Structure 1
Amino acid sequence: MTHSHDGHADVPKRYDKAFGLGIALNFGFVLIEAFYGWKIDSLALLADAGHNLSDVGGLILAWAALAATRLQPNDRHTFGWRRGSILASFINAFVLLIAMGSLGWEAFQRLQAPVAIAGVTVMLVAGIGILVNTITAWLFISGSRNDLNLRGAFLHMSADALVSVGVLLAGALYQWKGWNWIDPVISLVIAVIIVVTTWSLFRKSLHLLFDGVPDQVNLPSIRQYLLSQPGIIDIHDLHVWAMSTTEVALTAHLVMASLPDSDQLLRDVAEELREHFEITHCTLQLERDLGCSSGCNGL
């Protein structure tokens, strides 16, 4: 039997600074938005300040999950706390979908009874929101390509930037045309766009929570590769799952007509799985063919 892994595949530590800066910027914006909402007696701004405060919580959650992936395994948690990053990405996606549902419902209600808005003040606050959320989203854009946890943070901030753009546009059109209905209409459009873009994150993170095979892993190709190795005549108990949003594990029993005298085959297979199939941690066991498939109930 052999084990192979290439460490914790740590997300670069520079994201610690990104989370710290993003949390500080967004909390500062919450204070600004709450102040102006109180000053002009705008329930919309006060409600959005509450929404942005939940976004700060989402960033803190994602940062905590990032820190959890660095905790060393122990006798109680033999894989460490790496799965925390998957859980955080799922929670962020779920919260974002709920928030957009609430935004859509509020917009629908306002369509029934449009209200006047303080156009200039709303535009000013929205402009600050665009700047803050765009900067924060930019901090995570590179990591979002390969890490669902960072993708959750990126989508959260991108969604807020898009909402702020909509608020700015609504304020401008209200000042120009006096359209009370423009604010809820733009809000509905934005909510639909964000739900569509967030659904993939929600689906993928839920899939990984239930030990689904990560999308980037082609299991039939792995099975074909293993069966192509000299001496391997069958495979059973082949399992692939995500240990975190950046690490994939594999276990398999390889059946051979006769067992080799060295571990070279295992080392070669483990290296190939890591280099070409993105398997960061694998456990392989060789078994001699006894002409019996008893207990081979895996894949």
Structure 2
Amino acid sequence: MTEHADHSAHGRDGHGHAHAPTDFGKAFAIGIGLNIAFVLIEAIYGVWSNSLALVADAGHNLSDVLGLAVACAAAVLGNRAPTARYTYGMKGSSIMAALFNAVILLVAMGAIAWEAVRRFAEPAPVAGITVMVVAGIGILVNGVTAWLFASGRKGDLNVKGAFLHMAADAAVSAGVVVAGLLITLTGWRWLDPVTSLAIAAMVVWSTWGLLRESVRMSLDAVPSGIDPGAVRAHLRDLDGVTAVHDLHVWPMSTTEVALTSHLVMPAGADDTFLMRAAHELKDRFGIAHVTLQVETSEATACALAPDGVV
């Protein structure tokens, strides 16, 4: 994605826009290619060695491939210029991508858990050495993929998510290696479905937050990292402001937040005030797209406010 300088518009509305994330297109392409190759290897050897743990991890890694592909597509769509119909461009596609990934992950893990429970009744022999070797490859693949996104994890929530997911996958593969070693040493076949359930539980636990937050974002809820009460208090404390109403804060994408609000200022305000207010909201709350409407009359403000909005 292309880097854009922060800019603001003059006039009665103060606007600010966030920096676009650095281009990680190459990292996405390499990560997707590595993980597709590994999914094929893991699935083939999982079936051959009769290891549900490997098949479970293959399903998990397949969801990672889909996740990386959807995230990459969302990043491309998010860079499209606004149009008369899509006035914000297609930035919201990243929210849809997050929701899609969460649902796919949960469905896949449900299927794995069902099969694991079934195997408790009829434990099957597992080729422990094969499990260890293939899972070891997984540690390498996921570790390299995580490294590709490491440099951007502090500046872009999507890239940070990709980094953390790949790092967690490396840890999961390490768990599969341990399970393969224990099966080889002890012959305990039940360790394979137990490991599968543990993997599924960990993925569901880590995915639940993603599902919850993506649903909230799709409903234009205030992002979890922003306290709407603190935002309102900040606006109310600005010089010359006597009241704040019609305040809305919502995610434009998984990385950008917008705000609109009406400020009652009997003495009025100039462009300098609006620009300063917009920059303060960006610096303090990370809200980079700000629109403030100034009203000089309390009576006018109440008349213009929608029913129930204060």
Q: Determine if the TM-score, normalized by the shorter chain, exceeds 0.5.
A: yes
- Separation of aligned partners in 1, 2:57 and 2:280: 50
- Is 1:275 the counterpart of 2:273 in the alignment? no
**Residue 265 of structure 1, aligned match among 273, 281, 291:** 273
Paired position in structure 1 for 2:35: 26
**Residue 22 of structure 2, aligned match among 12, 26, 48:** 12
What are the within-5 Å matches in structure 2 for residues 117-196 of structure 1? 117-141=126-150, 143-144=152-153, 147-196=156-205
**Residue 72 of structure 1, aligned match among 57, 81, 105:** 81
Assess, with a 3 A threshold, how the Cα gap between structure 1 residues 59 and 96 changes in structure 2: closer, same or farther. Answer: same
**Residue 118 of structure 2, aligned match among 100, 109, 114:** 109
Runs of 4+ in structure 1 off by over 6 angstroms are none
- Separation of aligned partners in 2, 1:16 and 1:116: 42
Give the conservation status (yes or no) of the 8 Å contact 1:89–1:152.
Answer: no
**Helix, strand or coil at the partner of 1:214:** coil
- Separation of aligned partners in 2, 1:270 and 1:182: 57
State the shift of 1:155 in Å: 4.9
Amino acid at match of 1:267: M
Assess, with a 3 A threshold, how the Cα gap between structure 1 residues 150 and 205 changes in structure 2: closer, same or farther. Answer: farther
Paired position in structure 1 for 2:6: none
Cα deviations by residue, 1:58-89 (Å, 9 ceiling, x for unpaired): 21111111111211111111001111111112
State the shift of 1:156 in Å: 4.2
Paired position in structure 2 for 1:90: 99
- Separation of aligned partners in 2, 1:147 and 1:108: 39
- Separation of aligned partners in 1, 2:204 and 2:59: 20
State the shift of 1:198 in Å: 2.1
Assess, with a 3 A threshold, how the Cα gap between structure 1 residues 49 and 218 changes in structure 2: closer, same or farther. Answer: closer
- Separation of aligned partners in 1, 2:25 and 2:112: 31
**Helix, strand or coil at the partner of 2:34:** helix
Paired position in structure 1 for 2:45: 36
Structure 1 unmatched ranges of 5 or more:
none
Amino acid at match of 2:200: A
Worse overlay, 205-214 or 24-33: 24-33
Give the conservation status (yes or no) of the 8 Å contact 2:128–2:180.
Answer: yes
- Separation of aligned partners in 2, 1:201 and 1:137: 18
Paired position in structure 1 for 2:241: 232
Give the conservation status (yes or no) of the 8 Å contact 1:114–1:181.
Answer: yes
- Identity percentage of aligned residues: 48
State the shift of 1:289 in Å: 0.9
Amino acid at match of 1:296: A
State the shift of 1:123 in Å: 1.6
- Separation of aligned partners in 1, 2:237 and 2:170: 50
State the shift of 1:192 in Å: 1.7
State the shift of 1:49 in Å: 4.3
Structure 2 unmatched ranges of 5 or more:
1-11
**Helix, strand or coil at the partner of 2:88:** coil
- Is 1:3 the counterpart of 2:3 in the alignment? no
**Residue 210 of structure 1, aligned match among 204, 216, 219:** 219
- Separation of aligned partners in 2, 1:85 and 1:156: 16
TM-score after normalising by structure 2: 0.86
- Separation of aligned partners in 1, 2:203 and 2:55: 21
Give the conservation status (yes or no) of the 8 Å contact 2:78–2:92.
Answer: yes
State the shift of 1:5 in Å: 1.7
State the shift of 1:226 in Å: 1.5
What do you get for the CA RMSD once the two structures are aligned?
2.3
**Helix, strand or coil at the partner of 2:20:** coil
